[in-house]
Chains A and B, each alone.
Chain A
Amino acid sequence: MGWLTFLNPAFLWGALAASIPVIIHLINRRRARVVPFPTIKFVLRSERRVARKYRVKQWLLLALRTLILFLLTTALAEPVLQPTVGELAEVSQARAVVLILDNTMSMAYQTAGMTSWELAKEVSELVLQEFRPQDHGVLLPLISADAPPQALSGDRAELMQQVRELAHTFQPGGFVLPFQRAYALLKTSEAPKKEIVVITDHTRTPWVGVEPATLKVMDPQVRVTVIAVGPTDAASNATVREVRLDQPGLVTGVRTRLTAGIVNFGASDRKQVPVRLLVDGKTLDQRLLDLPKGSTTDVAFDVSFDQPGYREGTIMLASDGLPVDDLFYFSVPVRKALRVLLVDGDPRTTLVASETFYLRNALNPDRVYRPGPIQPRVVPVEEAERLRLGEFDVVILANVRNLSANLRTRLMDFANQGGGLWWFLGHQVDPAVYNRTLFDTPTRLLPARLGPLLDRPEAHPVMLQSFDASHPILKPIGERGQEALAGVRVRRLFAAEMASLPPTSRALLALPDGRPLLLEGTAGQGRVLLFTSTGDVDWNELAVTTGYLPLIQTGVAYLARREAQERLATDTRLPQPIILKLSDQHREALVTIADPQGKEARLFPQEQGGQIQAEYSDPRLAGFYRLRVGPEVGLVAVNTALEESDVTVIQPDEVREKFPGSPFAFVEWERGQPLRSPQVEPTSLAGWFLIGLLALMLVEGVFANRLR
């Protein structure tokens, strides 16, 4: 026990007021009224019987009133119980304090117009105000671009300044590393008292992984004080977990379904929450959604994109306690549809019997339901002569008997302008005519001279033997597609004269005897493919194998110079880096990235594991990042970390269990509340005096009432 002192001893003069009841009593006694009274014998009798007991009660009442006045005046003098000498010695010892400040995304949670981060900074300053000259401290933010501090500082003003300058981030973060650093820093300190003060919100996320086993360097002598700000249990937050597209390769004008999975991390169900879909900043659609607590709810939008290129998609939720994650960004690469002209040399009244039946289905298998990314148009040869070929990206000619000079000229012009040609042969093809009109010309429209027709017996078809798996046409097919192609049986084909094969031509698919089934070459500025058999099932089984569709589609894309190309970078979440996957041709290219605020940075491609890539390792903001790789542009969306959106509360006892054996305190701080100092300080007794005063007043009231 310490000793009693007063903060305002001047008020003790007021204790003289305690004598007032006694003085009043004495004055009243002296001024007793004299009354001549006839029935005094009854007064005397009553006096003998009851007055003595009454007088004792009156003295007690007098004592009570005296004590009330004494307590009132002493309470005004603010009595404090000073700590003992031992306690004072302990208090005067120097302290080493590591202040771990949570500046992760969840601290943006708003309550009564203030974010948890603003509260955290306020309480940080209160903590630092307790610093005395002999104390040392250091500030460890969870997220910081600066190098971690290496020593404790005795400069309180500097620490205050660091707190004021520290910014809130959209990054996720945990306490494991800060605690390890804190214990390491305190180990270097010789201060007799060591403490780690953590200022955070009530969320569970940053405490994940904080265990004695993971911290390793935990020192039970170090006091741990957790000061929690913000909402305790009524937090409300929903965010978008993911956005899915029904089909990955989007083309203009093609409607597709976009599904957003929305998760409610709040403590209660939410009804009729508006969910908006925005593309390029314009609202396309809106839904009202019920969000049960703790679960994910899907909402679907049907959407089509009018413009090719990267589109900026946003899912916007109604604002809640944590507004920073109410926007979910996603980038959508949209291409123009590929237009392919199918010139059918053998059209039939029955579609399935037509030469281009399988080709057309392979190019647009969903044509019944919706237009696909490849839009084929089938015409007979006569009609082809009237069409403007420039409107198409690729022209496929299937089993065309003869081409007029006009059509040949226009095909040459088409090829010279970079258009792609794909030849499929058949029974109407005359190799001599083809060679004369299409190969032996200044602009070769065939990659090889055609040889004689090779007929194989029905019982012994030729199996496809070899292929160039690294070619852009075959590579996307994958191993399973290539296996499917390997089983194709070919009964009839035209032999290509390999001896006359131009240097720009090469065989992509070949039979066991080396005769090519698919040849690639160039025609003018364009590319040309030659399939030496039919495009339907007349001469081979390719059209009914699983490899047919990808082969035709990748072939068309290749001819249109639109071969499947990977995105420069995929959408990501903080704090994951943005990784640009590049090709060899980009090795020396100028690669830049601009963050959502337009701040541009240059990236330097490097080879890692055989892949050329450039990494932007420090995205700090959620939003759209614009990429530029040479002339090529791209877009990637970055969103906040999902775990930071989880506002599930951790209980103080759970935190306490993470620091077994250590002195521990968990303070739930509210604005305006004085910070309970962990130091030993004089104990104010004014409150107790006032409570005693109230109790005595109550007793006095009852007592006086009974005496009346």
Chain B
Amino acid sequence: MADKPNYFDPLTLSKLSSLLLRARHVVEGLISGLHTSPYKGFSVEFSEHRQYTPGDEIRHIDWKAYAKFDRYYIKEYEQETNLRCYLLVDASASMNYRSNGVSKFDYACYLAAALAYIMLNQQDLVGLVTFSDRIRRQLPPRSSPGHLRTVIDSLEHTGPSGDTDLGRTLHHIASQLKRRGLVILLSDLLDEPAEVMQGLQHLRYQKHEVLVFHVLDHDEIAFPFAQLTQFEDLEDEARVITDPRAIAADYREQIQQFIKDYETMCRRQAIDYTLFNTRTPLDKGLLKYLAWRGA
């Protein structure tokens, strides 16, 4: 696996880190706030004082402040909760397509590793599932500092292969995830959209918050081919010889409609959907997401 990219590219991570530092300084608890959890966590963090009003619990009165100001002040806290995040990475053969040296699977792994790093830094629990037409690897959610290494290793030792059966796989994963959490799906979604959406709907039914990172190669979106080409499917024997210039317009129309359909359906299911082009620099893509998420 010597050709595997380094997921901890210092430049990328330093940028992400700097963003986190900035976020903590400028907007307190932003990262935590982004991941609002249905469960109470361990720690509380002081937020502000406010004047006591009848009805407030006496145990919340700050006696030190009373001693100092001779007035009753109530201490208010913000709670930080630990997020349980499941990273679902599509490792089917279709994810192996690359037009610029970075395959869709590589790109999904970059994103997954970066997200795991961010979340584990916040003491969130991060789990990982890689799948094709079946679950290939599965790591339960952990928040220990060494778990990041486990996640990375698992990604590194997974190669894209096999067919896609995304809908059925999502159903299967949904039935296995017993506790509510954040589910991030990183896939090219090249399956029947209705079945995929039923799988996602199953996750939503389990009260999971679902994010879909739709990873497509630039060529799949722009279809820049110019000369007579024989296209072959990565997962089965389908092939066709055609002049790409003849079908380019129609193809682009279809792929845009494909993307738009997922956008629409995800919005209906309250699922966050983001499209990633593999030519978009990783950090930019992630920052774009975080910025959107923060908004």
Residues of A within 8 A of B (CB): 28-29, 31-47, 49-51, 54-55, 58, 707-708
Q: Assuming the A-B contacts A42-B254, A43-B251, A49-B250, are A36 and B234 also in contact, with contact meaning beta carbons closer than 8 angstroms in the complex? A: yes
For B232, give its contact among A34, A42, A50 (CB under 8 Å): A34
User: Are the C-beta atoms of B228 and A29 separated by less than 8 Å?
Assistant: yes
Q: A37's closest neighbor in chain B, by CB? A: B231
Interface 1/0s, chain B 183-194, versus A by CB < 8 A? 000001010000
Tell whether, in the assembled complex, residue A40 and residue B228 are in contact, meaning their CB atoms are under 8 Å apart. no
The verdict on A35 contacting B245 (CB below 8 Å), with A28-B227, A42-B258 known, is no
21 contacts between A and B (CB under 8 A): A29-B228, A29-B241, A32-B230, A33-B229, A35-B230, A35-B232, A36-B97, A36-B233, A38-B217, A38-B235, A40-B231, A40-B240, A42-B251, A43-B231, A43-B242, A46-B242, A46-B251, A46-B254, A47-B247, A50-B249, A51-B242
- The answer to whether B238 has its CB under 8 Å from any CB of chain A is yes
Chain A residues with CB under 8 Å of B233's CB are 36-38, 40
A40–B97 alpha-carbon span in the complex (Å)? 12
A44 to B254, CA, bound (A): 11
In the complex, which of the residues B104, B231, B258 has the most CB atoms of chain A within 10 Å of its own CB atom?
A: B231
Q: Does any Cβ of A come within 8 Å of B220's Cβ?
A: yes
Q: Is the CB of B78 closer than 8 A to any CB of chain A?
A: no
The answer to whether A46 touches B220, judged by C-beta atoms less than 8 angstroms apart, is no
How distant is the Cα of A29 from the Cα of B232 in the complex, in angstroms?
Answer: 16
Confirm or deny: B291 has a beta carbon within 8 angstroms of a beta carbon on chain A: no
The residues of B that contact A38 with a CB separation of less than 8 Å are: 94-95, 97, 104, 188, 190, 217, 220, 233-235
Q: Which residues of A contact B249 (CB under 8 A)?
A: 50
Q: Is B261 an interface residue (CB 8 A)?
A: no
Residue B225 interfacial (CB < 8 Å): yes
Min CB gap B255→A, angstroms? 6
Contact between A33 and B230, CB atoms less than 8 A apart: yes
Asked if B246 contacts A32 (CB within 8 A), the reply is no
A-side contacts of B190, CB under 8 Å: 38-39, 41
Contacts of B238 in A (CB 8 A): 40-41, 44
**At the interface, yes or no: B243 with Cβ under 8 Å from chain A?**
yes
Given the complex, which residues of A lie within 8 Å of B232, measured CB to CB? 34-37, 40
Number of inter-chain CB pairs below 8 Å = 99
* Residues B246 and A55 in contact, CB atoms below 8 Å apart: yes
Chain B residue contacts of A35, Cβ below 8 A: 225, 229-232
Q: CB within 8 Å of A: which of B264-289?
A: none
Contacting residues, chain B, for A41 (C-beta < 8 A): 190, 238
- How far in angstroms is the closest Cβ of chain B from A195? 63
Residue of B nearest to A53 (CB): B246
| B92 nearest in chain A by CB position | A38
- Residue of B at shortest CB range from A39? B220
Given contacts A43-B242, A44-B240, contact A33 B251 (CB under 8 A): no
Closest to A31 in B: B228
Contacts A38-B188, A39-B190, A43-B240 known; A707 to B245 CB distance under 8 Å?
Answer: yes
CB closest residue in chain A, given B251: A46
Q: A33-B227, A37-B234, A39-B255 are in contact. Are A51 and B220 (CB under 8 A)?
A: no
Which chain B residues lie closer than 8 Å to A58 at the CB level?
Answer: 243, 246
- Greatest chain B CB density within 10 A among A31, A39, A50 is at A39
Q: Which residue of A lies closest to B247 (CB)?
A: A46
Closest to A38 in B: B94
Contacts of A29 in B (CB 8 A): 228, 241
- Shortest C-beta distance, B191 to chain A (Å), equals 10
By beta carbon, the residue of chain B nearest A51 is: B246
- Interface residue from A31, A42, A708 paired with B255 (Cβ < 8 Å): A42
How far, in angstroms, from A29 to B242 measured CA to CA in the complex?
9
- With A and B bound together, what is the CA distance between A36 and B237 in angstroms? 10
Once bound together, how far apart are the Cα atoms of A15 and B295, in whole Å?
69
B56–chain A nearest beta-carbon distance, Å: 60
Interface-central residue, A33, A43, A50, by most chain B CB under 10 Å: A43
Given contacts A38-B190, A50-B250, A55-B246, contact A33 B228 (CB under 8 A): yes
Given A38-B97, A39-B220, A51-B247, also A32-B240 (CB < 8 A): no
Knowing A44-B238, A54-B243, A707-B245, say if A32 contacts B94 (CB, 8 Å): no
